[in-house]
Amino acid sequence: MDGQAVRGLEAEALRTGRTLAEHSQDLRGIKAQQRAAFGNIDSLADAIGAPGDRSFTQRLDSIEGELGDVKRLLRALARAQGLDPDAE
C-alpha cells in the first residue's frame, strides 16, 4: 500500500471518528430530552391524581372531559350576555 492510500484511509478513519462522536453527542442530547419529557409526564400524572390511582390515559381523558364542560359553560355564559361565542 502506498503512502497516498494510507493517508486516504487515515482521513476516512478521522471522518468516521468525527461522525461517530457527533452521533454519540446527538444521542446523549436525545436521551436528556427523553428524561426531561418523562419527568414532565410523571409530574403531570402526579398533579392529576395519586400515583396508581388511575392510568395516565384515564387521567388525561378526565381532564379533556372537564375542559369540554368548562367550554360549554363559557359558551352558555356568553350567550346569556347576548354575545355570540362563534363570532370572530
Q: Give the domain ranges of the chain.
A: 1-50, 54-88
Q: Kindly state the average pLDDT of the residues 27-40.
A: 83
> Among all chains, which residue has been given the C-alpha cell 414532565?
40
Name the pTM for this structure.
0.38
Q: How far apart, in Å, are the Cα atoms of 38 and each of 5, 30, 35?
A: 49, 12, 5
pLDDT of residue 45: 67
Mean pLDDT of the chain: 79
Give the model's pLDDT for residue 49: 63
- Rounded to an integer, the average pLDDT of 23-43 is 82
Q: What is the pLDDT of residue 50?
A: 61
Nearby residues of 54 by Cβ (< 8 Å), 6 or more positions away:
62
Q: What is the mean pLDDT of residues 4-26?
A: 82
